[in-house]
A and B are shown apart, each in its own frame.
Chain A
Amino acid sequence: AQSVTQLDSQVPVFEEAPVELRCNYSSSVSVYLFWYVQYPNQGLQLLLKYLSGSTLVKGINGFEAEFNKSQTSFHLRKPSVHISDTAEYFCAVSESGNTPLVFGKGTRLSVIA
């Protein structure tokens, strides 16, 4: 069975500062990894994904993540955050294409002016 651990439930950060949201996963098989963002009262929007290939993946809104197989991690980073980045961020894993996502508990990013 797969599982995802997001180590921080809340991350406050000042505007224009860098941020890292941590995600670790466990799985007995190869996985696909995703980061989704959820703004208040909205659906989930895909930020980026790792399926295979380069371990550094770039997504929308200036976010990037690095897949580290030995540490079973997929941390999300942004070099300079904006107020508009305030949202809930979910890391998710799936066993393969067309299989359900297993989500972490989420990290609430609060950007402070």
Chain B
Amino acid sequence: AAGVIQSPRHLIKEKRETATLKCYPIPRHDTVYWYQQGPGQDPQFLISFYEKMQSDKGSIPDRFSAQQFSDYHSELNMSSLELGDSALYFCASSSGSWGYEQYFGPGTRLTVT
């Protein structure tokens, strides 16, 4: 079965650089979520989109922005990167027609040096 695809899987950036993370949800899933998981931490919700509109907003820094495109893929744009942004970034997708559970991608490991 198709799963959530995230790219890249690993990314190394320097402080003050920008990064773009991509997420391709499971086909026919209408909701995409972004989570950030710091080292040894639980995942923290950043932002979500339902049918290409922002639906919920969590602890996403102002330096970050995200959007969902017409093909339902989503991108998380991160600017002025800081050392503390080093984390695993997960994308998850869900659908009300499929029981609401969120299916997670493998994550993008971002390292800021």
Chain A minimum-CB-distance residue to B45? A100
In the assembled complex, the Cα of A98 lies from the Cα of B101 at a distance in Å of: 8
User: Once the chains bind, are A98 and B90 in contact (CB under 8 Å)?
Assistant: no
Chain A minimum-CB-distance residue to B50? A98
Q: How far is the CB of B97 from chain A (nearest CB, A)?
A: 10
User: Once the chains bind, are A46 and B43 in contact (CB under 8 Å)?
Assistant: no
Known: A44-B90, A98-B100. A90 touches B42 (CB 8 A): yes
Interface range on chain B: under 10, 10 to 19, 20 to 34, or 35 or more? 20 to 34
User: Once the chains bind, are A34 and B101 in contact (CB under 8 Å)?
Assistant: yes
Residues of chain B within 8 A of A87, CB atoms compared: none
Q: A90-B42, A101-B43 are in contact. List 16 more A-B contacts (CB 8 A).
A: A42-B106, A43-B105, A46-B102, A49-B99, A96-B100, A97-B94, A98-B31, A98-B96, A98-B100, A100-B48, A100-B56, A100-B58, A101-B33, A101-B35, A101-B45, A102-B45
User: Which B positions have Cβ atoms within 8 angstroms of A?
Assistant: 31, 33, 35, 41-45, 48, 50, 55-56, 58, 90, 92, 94, 96, 99-107
